[in-house]
Amino acid sequence: MPDDSERVERRALFRKLCSYVFAACIVIVFYFILKNQRSVSLAIDHVYKVIQPILIGFVMAFLMNPIMEFFEIRLFVVLKKIFKSDSVAKKTCRTLSSIIALIVFTLVVVYIIRAIVPNLINTIIYLANHIEEQIAVVLDWCNQITHGQYEEELMKAKDNNIGDLANQGLKMFNQYVDYDETDIMSLATSSVLSVGKFIVNIIIGMFVSVYVLVSKETFKAQAKKLVCGIFIPKYSNIILEIGRKSGQIFYGFIIGKIIDSVIIGIICYIGCLIMKMPYPVLVSVIVGVTNIVPVFGPYIGAVPTVIIIFLTEPMKGIYFLIFVLILQQVDGNLIGPKILGDSTGISSFWVVFAVVVGAGFFGLGGMIVAVPIVAIIYYMVGRLASYLVARRDLPIDTSEYTLMDYIDEENNVLIKHKDKTIETAKKKCFFAKKK
């Protein structure tokens, strides 16, 4: 019979072997993905289309959860007086709260769509029909502020017929681009079918969101049970901790960013009314919606809104640009930090990095979701680094390594000064092993 030391050795060898096999599998899978990138992309796209209504349902449930909790707290007080059993009252309260949350969420989305779409269409039609007049007004304004210094050039530009330029552009397009009426009809049909399918997926997602909200505790319990069944307690606790932290980061950032954007949209609307800006509803909705995108969102929203106002009233366009810049500074330094706090725990560099990478891979949605994802990865890497240095009996605090020059044999972090003297900067970490 093998003794305890042999068993420990065998277990260590088996774990090492499993690690090597796992690493080899990851390398093989990564190589397969690179070699068959197109096929993998098509497969992922197909899977996404199949599970799209489920994903929509989960996203809706995530956004509806605060609304559901708001009504659940207040309805339970009433329902527990009606039902004798607390369990029946809780179940009924959760179902009713989820349905009310779905109704409120739908009404808010419909209101936003009704507020922005008609104004957007009317604005585009108006600008398209009066583009020559708008440009003439801008050129006259430019001539006025330059005191006629460039009057001749501005008048030549004003005399050019914008409609003729547009017709010439269409002729060039028809000359170099060959298209068939059948292709256009096919494209129109496929577009209508795609829109119809997306609407059906949204309807299915609405039902899914209610089921998710009603059974969210059950789903969490099942996931925890599976994790605890597969992994040993040490790794189970790590996975559960990462799961809790991920939920906190996503919930704090996404919900906080939405609340922040709503506040910015309302402030922008009030400011537009005070300054008597044209299209206040349209401008405020664009500024509020684009503000959801971190870092670049305010600039994405400022460009079209300033252009729209500038083409209508040039001077007010400049005033609005100044107003938006001030508003974004107030948001970035006062409103945003108060609402979001340190929900991500990452620096501005990593926020910009996340937005750029997310936009490159997944477009507009990636710009929003990438920030909490990078924050989770940053948190995991930080915890791993702390664990590894603690195993080596080194300081956990990152500031200890700022001026580090090297480490001596006793695991002391040493700093070399200009006068060539050496100072011990290490403080024993909490997880230091007892000798």
Range in 13-17, 19-23, 130-134, 189-193 with the lowest mean pLDDT: 130-134
The helix (run of H) or strand (run of E) holding residue 205 is helix 181-214
Range in 19-33, 345-359, 391-405 with the lowest mean pLDDT: 391-405
> What is residue 414's three-state secondary structure?
strand
Q: What is the pLDDT of residue 142?
A: 66
Nearest-angstrom CA–CA distance, 378 and 383: 9
Looking at residue 345, its amino acid is: G
> What is residue 160's three-state secondary structure?
coil
- What would the two tokens of residue 407 be? 């480490």
Task: Please report how the helices 216-230 and 181-214 are oriented relative to each other, as an axis angle in degrees rounded to 10.
Answer: 80
Longest Cα–Cα distance in the chain: 104
Instruction: 116-123: list long-range contacts, CB under 8 Å, 24+ apart.
Output: 116/281, 116/282, 116/285, 116/286, 116/289, 119/279, 119/281, 119/282, 119/285, 120/282, 123/279, 123/282, 123/308
Nearest-angstrom CA–CA distance, 421 and 404: 13
Nearest-angstrom CA–CA distance, 284 and 305: 9
Q: Between 157 and 430, name the one with better pLDDT.
A: 157
Residues in the chain: 435
Q: Is the pLDDT of residue 103 over 90?
A: yes
Q: Between 349 and 95, name the one with better pLDDT.
A: 95
Nearest-angstrom CA–CA distance, 418 and 35: 53
- Angle value at C-alpha 24, between 19 and 27, nearest 5 degrees: 130
For residue 406, the cross-strand partners are 414
CB atoms within 10 A of CB 134: 19
| Cβ proximity of 303 and 365 under 8 Å | no
Question: Per residue in 72-96, pLDDT tens?
Answer: 888 888 888 887 777 888 888 888 9
For residue 422, the cross-strand partners are 416
- What would the two tokens of residue 202 be? 């949204």
Confidence of residue 293 (pLDDT cuts 50, 70, 90): confident
- What would the two tokens of residue 83 be? 């039902």
Q: Which residues contact 205 (CB under 8 A, 6 or more apart)?
A: 53, 54, 55, 56, 57, 59, 60
Q: Where are the beta strands (DSSP E) in 237-317?
A: none
Confidence of residue 307 (pLDDT cuts 50, 70, 90): confident
Question: Per residue in 375-402, pLDDT tens?
Answer: 888 888 888 888 888 877 777 777 777 7
CB atoms within 10 A of CB 242: 14
Q: Is the pLDDT of residue 139 over 50?
A: yes
Confidence of residue 297 (pLDDT cuts 50, 70, 90): confident
